[in-house]
Chain A
Amino acid sequence: MRAAGIRIGAIVRKEFRHLWRDRRLLGIVLLLPIMQLLLFSYAISFDVKHIPTLVVDQDRTAASRAYVSAYAASGFFDVVGQDSQTSAVDTVFARGDASVAVVVPAGFGQRVAQDLTPQVAVLVDGSDPNAARIGAAYATALNASLSQKATVTWTTREGYDVARSGFLEPRMRTWYNPDRNSSIFLIPGLIVAIIAIVTVQQTAVTLVRERDLGTREQMLVSPLRGWELMVGKLLPWTLLAFADIAVIVVLGQVVFGLPIRGSLWFLTVAAAVFVFCSLGMGLIISAVAPSIEVANIVGLLGSFLPGFLLSGLAFPLASVPWLLRAISYLFPARYMVTISRGVFLKGAGWAELWPQLALLSAYAVIAVALAVLLAKRRERV
């Protein structure tokens, strides 16, 4: 056992020497995660605020002005223009100057004054479905709230007590991320994707390189065992992955105000297991890839796609097609995203997340064992 430890140590030292000599790779491994974090956090923002809005007020009464100013006051809509013709909406949408238009027809004020139901039109540019959906939802909520206010005003004036009418009033609260800040939501997932990319990619090429160099053959005539080689390859990258995790967490806290509400200790253990899963995946690719180029491409696909699309990082897995959802169970990323969000945002720990951790652990053991077996198949043929 001691001899095995010495041999594994030799592999680890060698791997660090390779990395240290390859400054470009070192730079990629240490700086790429930071760049990815900043890019993704700012670029993949699902926050929709300040929707550019065109106001077409054909009524021009005090009532219409009060109604329109409610939009600007909400903070969700920025009134970027005023016009009196509905035909202007098309032009403004086509130029992309606004994605919502509020049309108040003539007679609006009059109908309000007569206690008749006034009508307004809210037009939404559907070419950006996400912004359209959110814009429409905001507008609906805003109008519901204005109508409710009008109802209350009218009933009070007429001498009714609304509170006695069985009026249903839902009180919505958003937990864990009350501002629904999307970078807070994304960063715990991004940590997972970035780790997957760094580790899968690097280990995917590592065994292929040993084979190409002929050094694998020298290892075969030494007492080094297959699993010792795997562990020796995994350890340095586990350390590097943790360096990356630390950088991202600190950056997330300082720059984006990411909270850590749960057990950091649990997160560390889970992250270590997840890193082993990713490395195991990389080693499997390495064991079967015929060349460095193939290993590189498969490593990239095997980390990027599951990391971003099949992990629940950006899109809720419940809303992806069933086939993709089924595939997502085959990749460790989805379990780790659940763990990461649970710990960072929901204050979860062992008690709540142990099933995910158990799955990850099983995955890690199977992946590394499979890698050892697959690599063995190609040796001493």
Chain B
Amino acid sequence: MTAVETVDLTRDFASLRAVDALTLTVPEGSVFGLLGPDGAGKTTLIRMLATVLRATDGDASVFGESVSRAPSRVTPRIGYMSQKFCMYPDLSVAENLEFFGTLRGVGRRDRTSRSSRLLTSMGLAEFADRQAQFLSGGMKQKLMLAATLMHEPDLLLLDEPTTGVDPVSRREFWGILSDLHVGGKTVIVATPYMDEAARCTDVAFLDAGRIRQRGTPAEIIGRVPGALLEVGGPHRAALAALSGNPRVLSAHVHGDVARVLWDRGSSAEAVAEVQAALAGLDADVRPVAMDMEAAFTFLAEVPTR
């Protein structure tokens, strides 16, 4: 089953094309990561899927219903969490859940039970009476997620839910998303964090309103050719020595080491070849596993296989 399908979905803002003829299918039950830099079109795409923004051209359907022609049949099945905190700051956590639950048509009994269950599972139970404005950043995001879940939607549209949240809260938040995934929900989550991409079942890398890469995290990593090596020690000198070397697909400073993508060969062969190329420098060359961040960095410069 398909949760979301877009066909040539386009959105212009004045002279800027934020989403450019985007065609995309998101299978039901996936945790779909929308990656990409600021301004790539992630928020625009999510807002169009949430029916709060109109498409300039093309269309999208959610569980088979068009977001432009039948938004009222789409909205009951989706939960939309905007990038900005959108709860009432002067209402308590419980009052916010109560309000948005009521608005979504959740009956009184279900409101009470769901609200307390959600708050308990998110560790917010003891803050139920606290006004939303006095919550920490991570708690605010969890409150928004809880409000989004009150009517038990099948598809969650989350726009950068963990941006600006501390690492511990981020991990907790993703723990909740995993549980939702296990429970069969479809999640579309925009994130600028590459480490979060690895936790998705499916990812798409957006740039300038178009999809540049699309697949499972393993597929994306598998697309990067060659072997990834880390060069420690005099890494800037090493980068200088390797520049112009035809076998280097890409090389970057990464913290206090250099990361080099060597065109082919097993890890062991690549290490030996790079050490040979860096003879004379006291460099420490070791193979490292490819991660999403490295994969996207290299895929942006290297033609895919």
Contact = CB atoms under 8 A, between A and B. Distances in A.
B170 interface: no
A7 B86 contact: no
A213 interface: yes
Contacts of A213: 86, 88-89
B53 A222 contact: no
Contact of A218 (B53, B72, B100, B105): B100
A3 interface: yes
B218 interface: no
B85 interface: yes
Given A17-B90, A17-B91, A223-B72, A217 B104 contact: no
A243 to B, nearest CB: 21
Contact of A380 (B54, B76, B91, B105): B54
A191 to B, nearest CB: 31
Contacts of B76: 223
A381 B84 CA distance: 19
Contacts of A17: 90-91, 95
A215 B100 CA distance: 10
A218 B81 CA distance: 8
B52 A10 contact: no
A379 B53 CA distance: 8
A215 B103 CA distance: 12
Given A14-B99, A223-B104, A381 B85 contact: no
Contact of A222 (B82, B89, B95, B103): B103
Interface string B62-102: 00000000011001101010101111111100010001101
A219 to B, nearest CB: 7
B82 A214 contact: yes
Given A17-B90, A215-B86, A7 B54 contact: no
A381 B54 CA distance: 6
A379 B103 CA distance: 18
Interface residues of B, number: 29
Interface in A187-233: 213-215, 217-224
Nearest to B98: A10
B51 interface: yes
B95 A7 contact: no
Given A14-B99, A17-B95, A215 B104 contact: no
B229 interface: no
Contacts of B89: 213
Interface in A161-185: none
Nearest to A380: B54
Interface string B138-150: 0000000001000
Interface in B37-66: 50-54
Contacts of B80: 217-218, 221
Interface residues of A, number: 25
B52 A221 contact: yes
Contacts of A214: 82, 84-86
A6 interface: yes
A380 B86 contact: no
Contacts of A13: 99
Interface in B126-161: 131, 147
Given A10-B99, A10-B102, A218 B90 contact: no
A90 B64 CA distance: 91
Interface string B220-235: 0000000000000000
A218 B86 contact: yes
B52 to A, nearest CB: 5
B75 A215 contact: no
> Which of B82, B90, B95, B103: most chain A Cβ within 10 A?
B103
A18 interface: yes
A315 B71 CA distance: 53
A214 B89 CA distance: 11
Contacts of A18: 88, 90-91
B90 A21 contact: yes
B51 A221 contact: yes
B246 to A, nearest CB: 52
A22 interface: yes
A380 B53 contact: yes
A379 B50 CA distance: 13
A38 to B, nearest CB: 31
A381 B56 CA distance: 10
Contact of B53 (A9, A22, A381): A381
A18 B132 CA distance: 13
B52 A220 contact: yes
Contact of B52 (A9, A14, A224, A380): A380
A7 to B, nearest CB: 6
Contacts of B85: 214
Contacts of B102: 6-7, 9-10
A218 B80 CA distance: 7
Interface string B102-113: 111100000000
Given A221-B50, A221-B75, A223-B75, A22 B82 contact: no
20 contacts: A7-B102, A14-B91, A18-B90, A213-B86, A213-B88, A214-B82, A217-B52, A218-B80, A218-B82, A218-B86, A219-B103, A220-B52, A221-B78, A222-B100, A222-B105, A223-B72, A223-B75, A380-B51, A380-B53, A380-B71
Interface of A: 3, 6-7, 9-10, 13-14, 17-18, 21-22, 213-215, 217-224, 379-381
Task: Please provide the 3 A-B residue pairs with the shortest distance between their CB atoms, ordered closest to farther.
Answer: A214-B86, A10-B102, A222-B103
Given A18-B90, A221-B52, A223-B105, 18 more contacts: A6-B102, A10-B99, A10-B103, A13-B99, A14-B95, A14-B99, A18-B91, A214-B82, A215-B86, A217-B52, A217-B80, A217-B86, A218-B80, A218-B86, A223-B72, A379-B52, A380-B51, A380-B54
